[in-house]
Amino acid sequence: MLSSLDIALAVRPKPIENIARALGILPEELELHGRFIAKVDLAMLSRLAGKAPGKLVLVTAITPTPLGEGKTTTTLGLVDGLNYVGVRAAATVRQPSLGPVFGIKGGANGGGYAQVVPMVEFNLHLTGDAHAVGAANNLAAAFLDNHLHHGNALKIDPLSVTWPRVLDISDRALREVVVGLGGKEGGIPRQEEFFITAASEVMAILAMAGGLEDLRARLGRVVLARRTDGSPVTADDLKVAGSMAVLLREAIKPNLMQTLEGNPVLVHAGPFGNIAQGTSSVLADRLALQLCEVVCTEAGFGADLGGEKFFDIKCRHSGLVPDAAVMVATIRALKMHGGVGRIVSGKPLDAALTREDVEAVRRGASNLAKQIENVRAFGIPVVVAINSFPTDTPAEVAAVREVAKAAGAREAVTSTHFAEGGRGAEALARAVRSMLEADEGRFQPLYPDEWPLARKIEAVATRMYGADGVDVLIKAARQLADFEKLGYGRLPVCIAKTHLSLSHEPELKGRPSGFRLPIREARLSAGAGFVTAVAGEMRLMPGLPSHPSGETMDVEGAGKVVGLH
């Protein structure tokens, strides 16, 4: 089979005006970025305000391996499959970060015959939204240090600064740095930290904003530091929020693209599901819901991470009501969770994972069962999509189906969209359509707003991860108490933890038990509207592996990109 890049380059996408016209987007609501990408003007929401919205389907997953289990590929294949069976459907997906593109996982446009195209543009900069986010974030950091340099009229405590600088590249050397070492004209020396852009509060705000006015208001509420009396200093106090909004005035518009089969995809925002809320934007979902019968969106990593945050943060703030969910699983990942083989990105697949081992699949399917329970805890029906590989056997598939149905899934369906596109996702599409027609979803959040922050964290840890409880370390306990004292106690929580386990320990596979979740620090994202609790050794700036994906990339001839995956 051809590589995903070769498949993408062999397809001539439709002019984006054709995709927009079929959706019902007017020419004046489209801002072209070349022939195959466009931004959509938010005025369209007002024009379609009286129209009944479509159905919203979340695509989530089991606890993934380092290779990922094909969640984006399944999202896109499902959209192609739904259109194949006559359902007007679109996808809303996150924009990739350059960190993974040049790091371990590679691009995020799907793969095989279930991709967003053009592939290269999708993975490399797109329309510059992530760079706008980084510029807005770093402008606030520059304003803050400039204020300290010019007399500190707001009486900011330099040791209280919590606003990081960001970069859309994985660079562990920047996790903790010292700035202001240039002498008198170099600013006030202090310790500083860098996050990857996808983990920034500005990216979270872009994903959560309901429009330009809401974006501006959220930026104004961002807390950058504290005064010497302990009161918060916001971006509005520093008079930088307006300039940040100026930098984001185009980034707030979702990007319209297409699948290989010419079906619509809205690409917008790009927060990570393990360290931020991990979902595409509220605006992309709303636009797509006004245009289509079914919208398939995804949330980062497993249902314990992006899935829970989709339900408890995005739906809570936006009013979006999910109708159903799809749980992506692979036989090879379930074998790994069952104690067979190791999966290391960049290395050949362990041969043990390609041999039939029904008992290993059954053991590992405890993870699948827990993730199904996680989705069902929110009152949402779920279908399991078995992302098929050639080495899967009928007996292994049967074992997955048995476990899935016993755990509460409506059905478990094998899907071959990677190799066959929409036709290969026909069975999955019919199962999802049947689930939507049954209208069984009765959405409910995991916890109420009025619970204390520590109790909310415990609810997520015990009910989503299976922890026995939570150990909030002294620093984190003080931070949580401080946030509540300042009036932020009603915010939902966003737990940053490893995506490779239901626990905080990456090596604990399957469905671990008998552990407690340690919370080492808490961070306030007042503009985005949540409090982040950092579990275990989680870092907000990733590092590169020993052999980054970028080693294989190059350009040929007149600029043809090679080696991107």
Enter the tokens of residue 404.
């899935």
Parallel/antiparallel/unpaired status of strands 255-259 and 264-267: antiparallel
Give the domain 453-535 fold. Formyltetrahydrofolate synthetase; domain 3 (3.10.410)
| Residue 478: other Cβ atoms inside 10 A | 13
Structure confidence at residue 144 as a pLDDT band (50, 70, 90):
very high
Domain span(s) for CATH 3.10.410.10 in the chain:
453-535
Domain 4-128+251-438, classified CATH 3.40.50.300, yes or no: yes
Report pLDDT for 277. 85
Residue whose tokens read 């995809």: 265
Angle at 225 between CA 211 and CA 542, to 5 degrees: 75
Cα–Cα distance measured from residue 473 to residue 63, given in angstroms and rounded to the nearest whole number: 26
pLDDT at 33 over 80: yes
pLDDT at 537 over 90: no
Residue 562, strand partner residues: 554
Question: Of the CATH numbers 3.30.720.120, 3.40.140.10, 3.30.1510.10, 3.30.300.130, which one belongs to the domain with range 130-244?
Answer: 3.30.1510.10
Span 436-457, mean pLDDT? 96
Span 196-218, mean pLDDT? 96
Span 285-297, mean pLDDT? 98
Phi and psi (nearest 5°) for 281? -80, 155
| Residue 210: other Cβ atoms inside 10 A | 18
| Residue 213: other Cβ atoms inside 10 A | 10
Parallel/antiparallel/unpaired status of strands 516-525 and 530-535: antiparallel
Q: How confident is the model over 229-287, as pLDDT tens digits?
A: 999 999 999 999 999 999 999 999 999 999 999 999 999 998 888 888 889 999 999 99
Report pLDDT for 418. 96
Is residue 249 within 8 Å of residue 128, measured between CB atoms?
no
Report pLDDT for 107. 79
Closest to 25 in 3D by CA, of 266, 188, 212 = 266
Q: How confident is the model over 363-395, as pLDDT tens digits?
A: 999 999 999 999 999 999 999 999 999 999 999
Span 113-139, mean pLDDT? 96
Percent of the chain's residues with pLDDT above 70: 100
Structure confidence at residue 4 as a pLDDT band (50, 70, 90):
confident
* 3-class secondary-structure state, position 376: helix
Domain span(s) for CATH 3.40.50.300 in the chain:
4-128+251-438
Enter the tokens of residue 175.
């996790």
What is the overall mean pLDDT for the chain?
95
Q: How confident is the model over 41-51, as pLDDT tens digits?
A: 999 999 999 89
Enter the tokens of residue 104.
């371990």
In this prediction the pTM is: 0.95
Is residue 460 within 8 Å of residue 472, measured between CB atoms?
no
pLDDT at 108 over 90: no
Is residue 180 within 8 Å of residue 189, measured between CB atoms?
yes
What is the DSSP-derived secondary structure letter of residue 64?
Answer: P
Report pLDDT for 186. 86
Residue whose tokens read 């016993």: 406
Report pLDDT for 103. 85
Report pLDDT for 218. 98
Structure confidence at residue 344 as a pLDDT band (50, 70, 90):
confident
Report pLDDT for 75. 98
Span 117-131, mean pLDDT? 94
Closest to 32 in 3D by CA, of 109, 127, 117 = 127
Report pLDDT for 282. 97
Report pLDDT for 512. 97
Report pLDDT for 188. 87
